[in-house]
Structure 1
Amino acid sequence: MMTMGETWGSLGSAMATIMFVWTMYKNYFPPELNGQIIRYSQKIKSFIHPYIQITIPEYQGDGFERSKAYIAIERYLDKNSSKQARRLKANVVQDFESVVLSMEDHEEVTDEYKSIKLWWSSSQDIPNRQSISFYPREDEKRYFMLTFHKRHREFITKNYLKHVLDEGKDIAVRERQRKLYTNNKSENWYGYKRSMWSHVVFKHPATFGTLAMEPKKKQEIMDDLITFSKAEEYYAKVGKAWKRGYLLYGPPGTGKSTMIAAMANLLKYDVYDLELTAVKDNTELRKLLIDTSSKSIIVIEDIDCSLDLTGQREKKKEQKDDKNENKDPAKTEMMKQMEENKSSQVTLSGLLNFIDGLWSACGEERLIVFTTNHVEKLDPALIRRGRMDRHIELSYCGFEAFKELAKIYLSIESHYLFAQVGLLLEETNMTPADVAENLMPKSTAEGADFCLERLIKALEQAKEDARLKVEEEAKVKAEKEEKLRANKEEDEKEKGKQDTTVDEVKNT
């Protein structure tokens, strides 16, 4: 049975044959008759074949990458393919966790949009000649063909196709196998299989539901993220690139990396973990940015430790130059080249352009996240509003965060020991990671009472350790002050002896 597209294609071929025959013999007819034949043939063709066909090939341009439009249409048609097509292809995605069905070649499905009926067919061109190729696309050229009535031409090209592409992209994002990327050194960037980024499947279990944080603050962050993900028109309206910066700061163990994982799981974004020390210079940094995808989070962890971004590098270089001043010139030059080759030349200016310069608008719907344990060390220009739009402090565990952890790890929302835990949390500093470790049952025999008592003991020990540390620091400080005082007295006595000797010499 012929499909809709094949039927109209056959009719079109028949008309083309008639026109070809007429072209061969048209010289035997008067010019005025030829004109009438042309007009009538066009009317007959329009009457017999009042449909328009649009072809979307799988590969475009240089043919090295599948067309994004083709991929989006493929995902859009999946929902119709499984219900209508008789022959289907099964693709396993999500690390063997789900199967996506799509129509096989030369199948056809129908679609309806705003009461307009359309036909989609999947086809494949196979060359007549045999060839050996490293690239399958040279031998098999697949494409989708859309067929619709010509009276809907303007509406289909302006509205329907945009609807299909947008819906296909959304489906791909919802069902894609999300990845965690890290950047490679530039030596691995070139060749047919260039690899600026290496990746693994991102399957971190953290969510905002399992995050130890004060509920109100947690909800504010979630609302901000969701609002950002739906704000494409707003960002276009105000003339800003569709991106947002987050600065996560606080002591080690307070959940900065876990917060990033929760963000990615909430928005279903990929994560790009950017290691600045592996980036040679500002140009490479821009290339890495261009090679990231939309709907992603670009992360620079411990940014205060990643590079010297506030002029310290130049000071260190000057110090090294001073040390090498009196050494062999040839050896000094060799050491200098080795140092330049192994160290990153990314500057503060280059990083600022990466965040919100012209190149930052090369993608859309992206979060840029910095983490640091020492926010006071960062250059103010790096973290000002507009670059890091939201500053989130992740501090030591408070009582509200503890209750969230107790709900997660012990499945309880109240207990008679909660009050004692709350008092101890106010008197000492313990990270959410340490609190969670004490709350986690080590065996099935350990109930809520046992885990809470263990946490109380740990808090009391931490309190005692903090007290001893303060006393030790005070003792060391007192000893230093006593030593300074003794040295000062000794210096004064020595100076007095010297003055007496000078006076005796003068009198003599």
Structure 2
Amino acid sequence: MFSPIPFQLFGLLIVSFLVLRFLYKSSLLYVLSKWWRWFQDACHVYQFYKVPQFNEHMQENQLYRKVSAYLNSLASVEDSDFANLMSGNKSKEINVGLDPDRPVSDTFLGARVVWRNEKSEMDGSRALVLKVRRTDRGRILRPYLQHIHSVFDEIERKEVRLYVNTEPERNGWWRSVPFNHPATIETVVMDSDVKNKVKSDLESFLKSKQYYHRLGRVWKRSYLLYGSPGTGKSSFVAGMAKFLRYDVYDIDLSKVSADSDLKMLLLQTTNKSMIVIEHLDRFLAEKPTAVSLAGILNFMDGILSCCGEERVMVFTMHGKDQIDPTVLRPGRIDVHVHFPLCDFSAFKSLASSHLGIKEHKLFAQVEEMFQRGSSLSPAEICQIMISNRTSSSRALKAVITALQLQTSAENSESGRLSKNASGRGPEESGETKSFFNGESVHMMKDLGKLYGLLRMRSRRKSSDDMDLAEKENSQHGTSLATKL
């Protein structure tokens, strides 16, 4: 005799049977759909279109870039085999990307098309291949490409990218990441009149395409940002890029091995882009270098500059006094913007943004220090305020101490130079020591580090002044010899 099956077990068997039947039907439908697709492909004649990554001049094909961005935005990418999962710009954001050599389908005006990203065996470059039925080609091809352009424009308005040059034999000429720098032109502390003039110049440039063409000039604009380290040049570059909504191409000249490579980097930048070379004066002072001065000049305004339009070139320098005048002539540099050390007006702006104060009883003492000739870079003052942001009084006292240390460092350096010349040095003063009474230990450590940095900056400044004096004396002696 068989024992009766418990009701719970019977219910479990029924559920298992239904699940297995569903999976069988689902898998069967999947196989049938693949067979039907194969049958359709066999019955229709297809036309193939290739979108190469580079053109015959090794310039980046902008259509390849647009199609890539469009395909990665499709929901059907998630259904593609081996789709790539990548973290997004925001926390907990996950993006799905198209895997190379895997097909992805799209539907437009009732027609189905298939894209595949293929790699060339000849030179390793990639190409996007479009497969479309011949019967649909005349009806959808051009409208479909216009649709891709429109979607790409929407994507571009949302994201600015930062490109950096790499070793071309391994990674191509450029690598990019999303450009999420928080700085804007408004947040950079600088003279308001200068800031407004730069913004007005950029706005005028954006509207001047026909004007440049009527003059027979390339539609581009070049800026020189010069000033001491920490005065806001790099932040202003980021603000310009966000203001223009241009991609940023940051060129590291130390990674460029020849003038020809510099030309290739320029050729593979896009329209509506900002091309940035920082610390150009430091690079020009290094000898020998892989890139020549002639290569730099051709990069700035040579014949290759006509291979793209609506570009802004930005160069940053510590100072321009010892730069070859041919680098700075009009046409190569259109706008010169000086970034000075912090003055009292800039200090008040920093105090307002970093500490939330418009006035304070210590402002008079800070203003007096600036009037005596003490100066710090905006970055140095910002760091002090950020470290002491919980107490505005402590932050202002730390700024005053740093200004005194800066003056002490310069006096010490000038005294050292004077002692080297005359054998005597200045008498030591205890004023700076007495100022530390009542300050915390951690503040003294931070200011001690700052003091060392200020001494290094003062020595570098003195060394530059001595080099400039020697250069002027040498030129003066040469001119006297010529006269004689």
Alignment of 1:422 onto 2:367: yes
Deviation at 1:225, TM superposition (A): 2.7
Count, aligned residues: 368
Q: Is the 8 Å Cα contact of residues 69 and 165 (structure 1) preserved in structure 2? A: no
State the distance in 2 between where 1:459 and 1:395 align: 16
Amino acid at match of 1:381: T
Contact 1:91 1:99 in 2 (8 A): no
Distance in structure 2 (CA, Å) of the matches to 1:477 and 1:264: 49
Counterpart of 1:377 in 2: which secondary structure?
coil
Which whole-Å CA distance do the structure 1 matches of 2:342 and 2:127 have between them? 59
Contact 1:248 1:372 survives alignment (8 Å)? yes
Unaligned 5+ runs, structure 1: 1-9, 17-54, 110-118, 314-342, 481-508
Q: Secondary structure at the match of 1:289?
A: helix
Partner of 1:124: 114
Matched, 1:392 2:337: yes
Structure 1 residue 450: Cα displacement: 1.9
The 3-state SS of whatever aligns with 2:340 is: coil
Residue type at the aligned position of 1:182: N
Uncovered stretches (5+) of structure 2, i.e. residues with no partner: 1-39, 98-102, 425-484
Question: Residue 244 of structure 2 aligns with which residue?
Answer: 267
User: Larger relative contact order (C-alpha < 8 A, sep ≥ 6)?
Assistant: 1
- In structure 2, the partner of 1:7 is none
Q: Distance between the aligned counterparts of 2:248 and 2:157, measured in 1? A: 15
Asked if structure 2 preserves the Cα contact closer than 8 Å seen for 1:251 and 1:396, the reply is yes
Contact 1:76 1:164 in 2 (8 A): no
Q: CA deviation at 1:300?
A: 2.1
Deviations 1:398-445 (A, max 9, x none): 1222122112211223333333322322321211111111211447xx
Task: Normalising by structure 1, report the TM-score.
Answer: 0.58
User: Does structure 1 residue 95 correspond to structure 2 residue 88?
Assistant: yes
User: Which residue, 289, 294, 297 being the options, matches 1:349?
Assistant: 294
Q: 1:52-131, aligned counterparts within 5 Å? A: 57=49, 59=51, 68-69=62-63, 72=66, 95-97=88-90, 119=109, 121-124=111-114
User: Does the aligned pair in 2 maintain the 1:213–1:400 contact within 8 Å?
Assistant: no
Q: 1:433 aligns with which of 357, 375, 379?
A: 379
**Residue 120 and residue 285 in structure 1: after superposition, are their counterparts in 2 closer, same or farther (change >3 A)?**
farther
Matching residue within 397, 418, 440 for 1:453: 397
Task: Work out which of the residue numbers 170, 173, 180 in structure 1 matches 2:153.
Answer: 170
Following superposition, the deviation at residue 141 of structure 1 comes to: 3.4
Two-structure CA RMSD over aligned residues (Å)? 4.7
Higher-Rg structure is 1
Q: Given the two structures, how large is their TM-score scaled by the length of structure 2?
A: 0.61
Please tell me whether residue 283 in structure 1 is matched to residue 247 in structure 2: no
Note the C-alpha offset of 1:107. 6.1
CA distance in 2, matches of 1:161, 1:387: 41
Q: How does 1:210-229 map to 2 (within 5 A)?
A: 210-229=187-206
Q: How big is the shift at 1:125?
A: 7.8
Alignment correspondent of 2:311? 366
1:467 deviates by 3.6
Distance 1:355-1:476 versus aligned 2 partners, 3 A rule? same
Q: Deviations over 1:68-97 (max 9, x none)?
A: 447647878999x99xx9x99999888354
Q: Secondary structure at the match of 1:375?
A: coil
Q: Is the 8 Å Cα contact of residues 189 and 350 (structure 2) preserved in structure 1? A: yes
Q: What is the alpha-carbon distance in structure 2 between the residues aligned to residue 246 and residue 435 of structure 1?
A: 26
1:380 to 312, 325, 332: 325
1:397: how far off?
A: 0.3
1:396 Cα deviation from its structure 2 partner: 0.5
Cα distance change, pair 133–357 in 1 and its aligned pair in 2 (3 A): closer
Contact 2:104 2:115 in 1 (8 A): no
Tell me by how many angstroms 1:391 deviates: 0.7
Residues 304 and 121 (structure 1), Cα distance of their counterparts in 2 relative to 1, 3 Å cut: same
Give how far 1:359 is off: 0.5
Change (3 A) 1:180 1:426: farther
Inter-partner Cα distance in structure 2 for 1:411 and 1:402: 12
